[in-house]
Amino acid sequence: MDHDEDEEAEKLKEQRLKEYAAKKAKKPAVIAKSSILLDVKPWDDETDLAKLEECVRSVQADGLLWGTSKLVPVGYGIKKLQIACVVEDDKVGTDLLEEEITKFEDYVQSVDVAAFNKI
């Protein structure tokens, strides 16, 4: 192989690497997400659960998406709010959610992670 062929092969290799890099750059990175089900417990049966849910849903974060919710009887006439959300693992964790939700101390007694699944 003479010098010209070497150069040609090198150029071709560079071109292919560039094309590969460009193709790879266009492909969106896979974002790791999790589905989380939270149990938010009120103080008692006097707690306004609509307001409680409003407070929970007011928690905003990049990578956090609130889903469906329902009220689940706990006993003694008390119901807890069970609410689902999807989070991007790199941006939002259960610690952040629990911390933010428990700030609404007039309504929220505790927050527990009922289910946590990688998507």
- Residue 5 counted as domain residue: no
Domain residues for 39?
A: 30-118
- Residue 14 counted as domain residue: no
- Residue 13 counted as domain residue: no
- What predicted TM-score, i.e. pTM, was given to this entire model? 0.75
Q: What's the CATH code of the domain at 68?
A: 3.30.70.60
Contact 111, 98 (CB under 8 A): yes
- Residue 46 counted as domain residue: yes
Residue 13: Cβ-neighbour burial (10 angstroms; 0-12, 13-18, 19+): exposed
Per-residue pLDDT of the chain in tens (119 residues, 90 and over written 9):
566 778 888 888 888 888 877 777 776 778 899 999 999 999 999 999 999 999 999 999 999 999 999 999 999 999 999 999 999 999 999 999 999 999 999 999 999 999 999 99
Task: Name residues whose C-beta falls within 8 Å of residue 79's C-beta, 6 or more positions apart in sequence.
Answer: 42, 45, 49, 71, 72, 73
Number of domains in the chain: 1
